[in-house]
């Protein structure tokens, strides 16, 4: 039996199961309070559990250790297996967006920051570390990556995404999936398929057309499945009249019919219940459960809905035969994972692995690649030898810059040994010879003029359940309580912003031009009130547990910034939605009081050195196209440039985006040297959906644009497609 395939083993087991056992497999359970009578309240027959490690830290003075968490999860698994008539192990699940969120595992940069590196290989290494930490504790399904395309940065969950670009999101999402899955952790890209609506409103009804869905929002999910993701999480909202949790078009026709996906689908937390209570699409909870399961959703998360599914069967809303399809997919995944043979983990091994030196070093390396230099008028880098007095302002200077969104366990801010706040990192880096004055903003006028440099660390209230209509930094007292948050398990402990940040930043630059605004955020901010006065601005995002150390290195020139924007920065919220890969207007793009261009475009980011892209040449091959070029470092220090190749299509059967990212590469070049590089496009890069929604290499003309951002182009080439043939000048390549 053990030598047969997972699907055959699953089918054999399914034949032996009672209806009650099957119902339990499509149901899950999550209990917040894991102390006291936890075991009595737990239904050990459910097939999927929110791992108890996520809740073990709540209201404890000392966070639970990795060994404690692993022991708790082992007990949870053991009790479930022993209660099962056929010893079926559960899948213990949890968040894994930028760290193993069952405890105080290594906290890497938030996804939007990872995307700024334009380095999928780095993201893959991060995912490998997260996968190892998840698996070590016994968490075998991670609810990651978030591959929704962020086309409106008012959406509070922009921080969870890889930005606005399709290709970058595909690459980063696929890298995350490979890293998780290679460690025996099921990757679960989310939220299938688009998860917000006009104005960046989370979970609101999607009016996305089929064309836009296929051109923009679906490709990152397909890339994740091609990379081995075994699960997917349905979005809260509805598309084409049907909630995503019960959308047969998405969950069966496209996902399984077109793409051949053979994994299982989970709901977002409460997503099935919402079909009745929010969408009013189902007449009862039982009706909602039946519609979801029949449409292709397999696991109802997160609460125990066994009784609800039983009612659905009793009322004839779903048959046992229909339920068998869901259960078969779940069992197959469990056999693939090896849960039947190896359901438990070693607490001592978990203790040794979690937040090991290797992973902390990786967090620092990732943070170095994710921090963007937005503006610099000869202020940075700072000379450590010349700095004697520093003014530090902004409440985020005293916080570990991991961000509140999916960082750490429930109800407890992430913390870890050797994870400094920005203030601590500065003090450690500069030593006792430098006076660092940390003060409230009302003392800026008093302190800033006498300092060699001043830093202001910004704060934002954002994340799941916290969409923004105003992109400016909060300038009045702003707060968010857990009860007000739209998420269920996201760490939304009360956050308070008390400072008039715009006024404080303006005051700082006025008092001393030798000052730096440091943005700690998960989405673009409106800087229009103060950007002209700013001499230096850094976009640090939430760079993770080692981010403060990386930021300090960049401020003082020990690391040369190399990150690029994965999303446009608008001048104001009135420009939104704003994204670079838009389709042409029939007349123009601008408002009467605005030229329509972003403050900072996609792909933009400064360095302490200068680069030139030279000697670019186009070559067509039987596989597609190659652009060879050289990156020349014309400045005085070593650095990395992100060379970006864009595709602008015209004369096609349908209107195409004005340009879109087609390829990119991080290129490290020592000062004064030149490095040759090649970017390759396969033939599919020139494919598109025609007027009949048929995807293929249709006729058209394409301009290849090579540069340092979507607005900084160094070379252009023309390629035409006719009858499947690519031509450039007099050169033609056929199959």
Ordered structural domains, the chain, with CATH: 368-575 (3.40.50.1700), 611-733 (2.60.40.10)
Give the model's pLDDT for residue 1. Answer: 42
Q: What is the pTM of this model?
A: 0.96
Cβ neighbours for 258, distance < 8 A, ≥ 6 positions apart = none
Two structure tokens written together for 298: 């397999």
What's the first-to-final CA gap in the chain, in angstroms? 46
**Burial of 725 (C-beta count, 10 Å sphere; 0-12/13-18/19+):** middle
What average pLDDT does the segment 570-595 reach?
Answer: 89
Burial 283-318 (b: 16+ CB within 10 A, else e): eebbbbbbbbbbbbbbbbbbbbbbebbbbbbeeebb
* CA torsion, ordered 329, 333, 336, 341, to nearest 10 deg: -110
| Sheet containing 731-733: order of strands | 660-669, 639-650, 700-709, 712-722, 725-728, 731-733
pLDDT in tens, 84-105: 999 999 999 999 999 999 999 9
Q: Do the Cβ atoms of 569 and 523 come closer than 8 Å? A: no
Establish whether the linkage from the previous residue to 88 is cis, with ω within 30° of 0: no
Pairing type for strands 48-50 and 91-95 reads parallel
Distance between CA atoms of residues 42 and 44, nearest Å: 6
Would you call 734 helix, strand, or coil by DSSP?
A: coil
Distance between CA atoms of residues 269 and 637, nearest Å: 49
Q: Is the per-residue pLDDT at 482 higher than 60?
A: no
CA atoms within a 13 Å half-sphere pointing along the CA-CB vector of 256: 18
Distance between CA atoms of residues 625 and 499, nearest Å: 53
pLDDT in tens, 435-459: 999 999 999 999 999 999 999 999 9
> How open is the CA angle 254-255-258, to the nearest 5 degrees?
50
Cβ neighbours for 532, distance < 8 A, ≥ 6 positions apart = none
Give the model's pLDDT for residue 493. Answer: 46
- For every residue of 621-640, which 3-state class applies, written as one string? CCCEEEEEEEEEECCCCCEE
Give the model's pLDDT for residue 480. Answer: 59
Place of tokens 């968040």: 95
Q: Do the Cβ atoms of 103 and 409 come closer than 8 Å? A: yes
pLDDT in tens, 200-246: 999 999 999 999 999 999 999 999 999 999 999 999 999 999 999 99
Distance between CA atoms of residues 67 and 53, nearest Å: 10
Distance between CA atoms of residues 697 and 689, nearest Å: 9
CA nearest to 12, candidates 306, 316, 340 = 340
**Burial of 395 (C-beta count, 10 Å sphere; 0-12/13-18/19+):** middle
Give the model's confidence band at 3: pLDDT under 50 very low, under 70 low, under 90 confident, else very high: low
Give the model's pLDDT for residue 545. Answer: 98
Distance between CA atoms of residues 147 and 188, nearest Å: 10
What letter does residue 727 receive in the DSSP assignment?
Answer: E
**Burial of 636 (C-beta count, 10 Å sphere; 0-12/13-18/19+):** exposed
Distance between CA atoms of residues 460 and 497, nearest Å: 7
Cβ neighbours for 14, distance < 8 A, ≥ 6 positions apart = 22, 324, 327, 328, 331
Two structure tokens written together for 320: 């046992």
Q: Which long-range contacts (CB under 8 A, 24 or more apart) does 259-262 make?
A: 259/222, 259/225, 261/225, 261/232, 262/329, 262/332
Give the containing element (helix H, strand E) for 648: strand 639-650
**Burial of 716 (C-beta count, 10 Å sphere; 0-12/13-18/19+):** middle
Q: Is the per-residue pLDDT at 27 higher than 80?
A: yes
Distance between CA atoms of residues 462 and 112, nearest Å: 13
Give the model's pLDDT for residue 298. Answer: 98
What letter does residue 463 receive in the DSSP assignment?
Answer: B
Q: What one-character-per-residue DSSP string does 481-531 give?
A: -GGG-S-SSS----EEE-S-HHHHHHHHHHH-SSEEEEE--SS--B-TTTG
Would you call 138 helix, strand, or coil by DSSP?
A: coil
CA nearest to 208, candidates 144, 132, 125, 151 = 151
Distance between CA atoms of residues 194 and 203, nearest Å: 9
* CA torsion, ordered 182, 214, 687, 631, to nearest 10 deg: -60
Average pLDDT along the chain: 94
pLDDT in tens, 412-436: 889 998 999 999 999 999 999 999 9
Give the model's pLDDT for residue 490. Answer: 66
Give the model's pLDDT for residue 190. Answer: 98
Give the model's pLDDT for residue 734. Answer: 42
Q: Is the per-residue pLDDT at 374 higher than 70?
A: yes
What average pLDDT does the segment 393-421 reach?
Answer: 92
Would you call 350 helix, strand, or coil by DSSP?
A: helix
| Sheet containing 624-633: order of strands | 611-620, 624-633, 674-682
Two structure tokens written together for 161: 């995404």
Distance between CA atoms of residues 353 and 242, nearest Å: 44
Two structure tokens written together for 679: 């970017």
Give CA 440 to chain center in angstroms: 33
Give the model's confidence band at 729: pLDDT under 50 very low, under 70 low, under 90 confident, else very high: low
pLDDT in tens, 116-135: 999 999 999 999 999 999 99
Distance between CA atoms of residues 607 and 641, nearest Å: 8
Burial 110-119 (b: 16+ CB within 10 A, else e): bbbbbbbbbb
Which bin fits 651, alpha (ψ -120 to 50), beta or left (φ > 0)?
Answer: left
Place of tokens 């001043």: 454
Give the model's pLDDT for residue 497. Answer: 81
Q: Do the Cβ atoms of 148 and 202 come closer than 8 Å? A: no
Place of tokens 């960082």: 407
Two structure tokens written together for 687: 């494919």
User: What number of other Cβ atoms are within 10 A of residue 156's Cβ?
Assistant: 26
Give the model's pLDDT for residue 594. Answer: 83
Q: Do the Cβ atoms of 462 and 585 come closer than 8 Å? A: no
Distance between CA atoms of residues 294 and 322, nearest Å: 7
Distance between CA atoms of residues 329 and 50, nearest Å: 19
Would you call 533 helix, strand, or coil by DSSP?
A: helix
What average pLDDT does the segment 293-314 reach?
Answer: 98
| Helix residue ranges per DSSP H, 182-218 | 210-212
CA dihedral over 600, 605, 607, 609, signed as positive or negative: negative
Give the model's confidence band at 535: pLDDT under 50 very low, under 70 low, under 90 confident, else very high: very high
What average pLDDT does the segment 554-559 reach?
Answer: 98
Cβ neighbours for 635, distance < 8 A, ≥ 6 positions apart = 607, 608, 609, 610, 611, 671
Q: Do the Cβ atoms of 643 and 629 come closer than 8 Å? A: yes
What average pLDDT does the segment 540-547 reach?
Answer: 98
What letter does residue 581 receive in the DSSP assignment?
Answer: S
Give the model's pLDDT for residue 735. Answer: 42
Give the containing element (helix H, strand E) for 90: none
Q: Is the per-residue pLDDT at 485 higher than 80?
A: no
Give the model's confidence band at 26: pLDDT under 50 very low, under 70 low, under 90 confident, else very high: very high
């Amino acid at each position: 039996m053990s030598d047969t395939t997972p699907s055959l083993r699953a089918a054999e087991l399914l034949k032996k199961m009672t209806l009650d056992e099957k119902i339990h497999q499509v149901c899950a359970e999550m209990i917040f309070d894991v102390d006291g009578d936890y075991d009595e309240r737990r239904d050990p027959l459910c097939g999927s559990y929110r791992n108890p490690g996520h809740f073990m830290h709540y209201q404890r003075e000392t966070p639970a250790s990795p060994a404690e968490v692993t022991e708790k999860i082992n007990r949870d698994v053991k009790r479930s297996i022993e209660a099962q008539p056929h010893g079926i192990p559960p899948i213990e699940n949890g968040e894994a967006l930028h760290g193993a969120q069952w405890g105080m595992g290594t906290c890497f940069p938030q996804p939007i920051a990872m995307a700024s590196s334009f380095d999928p290989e780095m993201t893959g290494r991060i995912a490998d570390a997260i996968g190892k930490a998840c698996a070590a504790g016994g968490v075998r399904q991670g609810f990651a990556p978030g591959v929704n395309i962020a086309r409106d940065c008012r959406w509070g969950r922009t921080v969870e995404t890889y930005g606005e670009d399709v290709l970058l999101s595909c690459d980063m999402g696929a890298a995350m999936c490979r890293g998780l899955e290679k460690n025996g952790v099921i990757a679960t890209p989310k939220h299938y398929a688009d998860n917000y609506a006009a104005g960046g409103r989370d979970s609101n009804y999607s009016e996305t057309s089929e064309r836009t869905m296929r051109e923009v929002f679906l490709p990152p999910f397909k890339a994740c499945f091609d990379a081995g993701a075994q699960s997917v999480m349905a979005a809260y909202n509805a598309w084409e009249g049907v909630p995503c949790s019960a959308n047969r078009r998405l969950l069966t026709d496209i996902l399984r019919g077109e793409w051949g996906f053979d994994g299982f689908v989970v709901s977002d937390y409460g997503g099935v219940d919402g079909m009745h209570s929010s969408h009013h699409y189902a007449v009862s909870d039982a009706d909602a459960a039946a519609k979801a399961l029949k449409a292709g959703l397999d696991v109802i998360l997160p609460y125990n809905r066994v009784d609800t599914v039983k009612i659905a069967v009793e009322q004839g809303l779903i048959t046992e035969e229909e339920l068998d399809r869901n259960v078969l997919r779940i069992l197959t995944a469990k056999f693939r994972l090896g849960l039947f043979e190896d359901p438990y983990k070693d607490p001592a091994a978990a203790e040794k692995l979690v937040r090991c030196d290797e992973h902390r070093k990786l967090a620092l390396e990732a943070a170095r690649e994710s921090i963007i230099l937005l503006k610099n008028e000869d202020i940075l880098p700072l000379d450590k030898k010349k700095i004697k007095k520093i003014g530090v302002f902004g409440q985020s200077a005293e916080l570990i810059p991991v961000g509140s969104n999916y960082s750490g366990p429930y109800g407890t801010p992430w913390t870890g040994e050797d994870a400094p706040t920005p203030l601590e990192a500065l003090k450690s880096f500069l030593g006792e010879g430098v006076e660092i004055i940390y003060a409230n903003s009302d003392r800026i006028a008093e302190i800033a003029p006498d300092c060699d440099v001043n830093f202001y660390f910004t704060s934002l209230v954002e994340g799941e359940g916290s969409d923004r209509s105003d992109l400016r930094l909060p300038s009045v007292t702003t707060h968010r309580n857990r009860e007000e948050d739209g998420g269920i398990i996201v760490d939304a402990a009360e956050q308070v912003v008390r400072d008039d940040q715009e006024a404080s930043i303006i005051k700082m630059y006025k008092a001393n031009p030798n000052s730096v605004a440091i943005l700690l955020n998960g989405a673009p901010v409106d800087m229009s009130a103060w950007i002209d006065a700013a001499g230096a601005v850094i976009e640090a995002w939430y760079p993770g547990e080692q981010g403060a150390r990386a930021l300090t290195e960049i401020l003082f020139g020990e690391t040369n910034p190399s990150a690029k924007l994965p999303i446009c920065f608008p001048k104001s919220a009135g420009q939104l939605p704003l994204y670079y890969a838009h389709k042409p207007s029939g007349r123009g793009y601008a408002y009467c009081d605005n030229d329509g261009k972003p403050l900072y475009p996609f792909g933009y980011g400064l360095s302490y050195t200068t680069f030139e892209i030279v000697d670019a040449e186009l070559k067509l091959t039987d596989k597609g196209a190659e652009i060879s070029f050289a990156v020349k470092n014309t400045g005085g220090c070593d650095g990395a440039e992100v060379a970006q190749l864009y595709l602008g299509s015209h004369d096609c059967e349908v209107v195409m985006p004005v340009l879109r990212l087609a390829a990119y590469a991080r290129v490290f070049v020592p000062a004064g040297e030149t490095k040759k590089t090649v970017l390759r496009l396969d033939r599919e890069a020139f494919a598109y959906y025609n007027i009949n929604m048929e995807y293929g290499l249709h006729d058209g003309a394409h301009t290849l644009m090579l540069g340092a951002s979507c607005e900084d182009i160094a070379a252009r080439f023309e390629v035409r497609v006719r009858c499947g043939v690519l031509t450039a000048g007099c050169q033609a390549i056929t199959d």
